[in-house]
Amino acid sequence: MGNTPTPHNAAKAGDIAKTVLMPGDPLRAKFIAETYLEDAVCFNTVRNMFGFTGTYKGKSVSVMGAGMGMPSMGIYSYELFNFYDVDNIIRIGSAGAIQEDVNLMDVVIGMGACTDSNYVDQYNLPGTFAPIGSYELLEKAVAAARAQGTSIKVGNVLSSDVFYSADDTVNARWASMGVMAVEMESAALYMNAAKAGKKALSILTISDQLCRHEALSAEDRQFGFKKMMEIALELA
């Protein structure tokens, strides 16, 4: 706790709950706090990466933006796990479907997260590391989705460093290995959790169907992912 506050997080020891929901968009964090949390208190505005702590169904829960990409998720989740003693981080974000049977607004849970990033190189491992989510959180998320009546898809996702790829065949090649969707943060989150001995899970809503060139609006992405948010809140 001696490392807090940090250059990126103004929270003091005790300001952040043991479970943190992390959307990429800080405005989505603000929306969740205002919509779902009771007695929410803002603990961070540094770089406009809003963070809030409140209660949901009597349980303390925090929500904080993570930004875009693995470097940003890597910084914020590392500090939460290692400096603020957070036990669980649930990423709630958007993803692009690369399978024909995954549709706009579908909820996808990343059991594993492939990546084209070299984020893992820092650990100097003697082989290839497979980033996976917490089975305990996954099991609870599936149960929460069933209770909600929401159909979900569970499987592998891709965390890519590249949003606009110069290679227009790359998605098809990942899809040929059964990868369901592409996003930009989960692998770093899962690696940080593994290294810290903590738990993490990514619950994603499909904002783009890349096979059919379909996409949601920016407003839908900010305010329209309530099923995913409600599933994640049940894990607190």
The string of pLDDT tens digits covering residues 154-202 is 999 999 999 999 999 999 999 999 999 999 999 999 999 999 999 999 9
Contact (Cβ atoms closer than 8 angstroms) between residue 14 and residue 230: no
Q: For residue 175, give Cα distances in angstroms to 93, 106, 178.
A: 20, 17, 5
Q: What is the pTM of this model?
A: 0.96
The predicted pLDDT at position 219 comes to 77
Residue owning tokens 């790829």: 165
Those residues whose C-beta lies under 8 Å from the C-beta of residue 153, and which sit 6 or more positions away, are: 102, 106, 107, 108, 109, 180
Cross-strand bridge partners of residue 95: 206
Closest-CA residue to 64 (of 178, 220, 227, 232): 232
15 is catalytic: no
Counting beta carbons within 10 angstroms of the beta carbon of residue 169, is it exposed (0 to 12), middle (13 to 18) or buried (19 or more)?
A: exposed
- Whether the CA torsion 229, 234, 235, 236 is positive or negative: it is positive
Give me the residue label for tokens 């949901």.
56
- Cβ neighbours of residue 191 closer than 8 Å, sequence gap 6 or more: 119, 120, 123, 129, 131
| Mean of pLDDT values over 87-110 | 97
Confidence of residue 93 (pLDDT cuts 50, 70, 90): very high
pLDDT for residue 213: 95
Q: Whole-angstrom Cα distance, residue 97 to residue 210?
A: 6
Rounded-to-integer distance, Cα 181 and Cα 174, Å: 9
d(CA 71, CA 189): 10
Which pLDDT band holds residue 220 (cuts at 50, 70, 90)? confident
- All domains of the chain in start order, with CATH: 19-233 (3.40.50.1580)
Task: Give yes or no for residue 1 having a pLDDT over 60.
Answer: no
Q: Which of these is catalytic: 161, 168, 208, 220? A: 208
pLDDT at residue 34 in the model:
97
Please report, rounded to a whole number, the percentage of residues in the chain having pLDDT higher than 90: 95
Handedness of CA 230, 194, 206, 118 (dihedral sign): positive
Q: Token digits for 139?
A: 């099991």
Q: Can you give the pLDDT at residue 224?
A: 74
**Alpha-carbon distances of 87 from 20, 191, 193, rounded to whole Å:** 8, 14, 9
Q: Which pLDDT band holds residue 222 (cuts at 50, 70, 90)?
A: low
Q: Average pLDDT, stretch 96-106?
A: 97
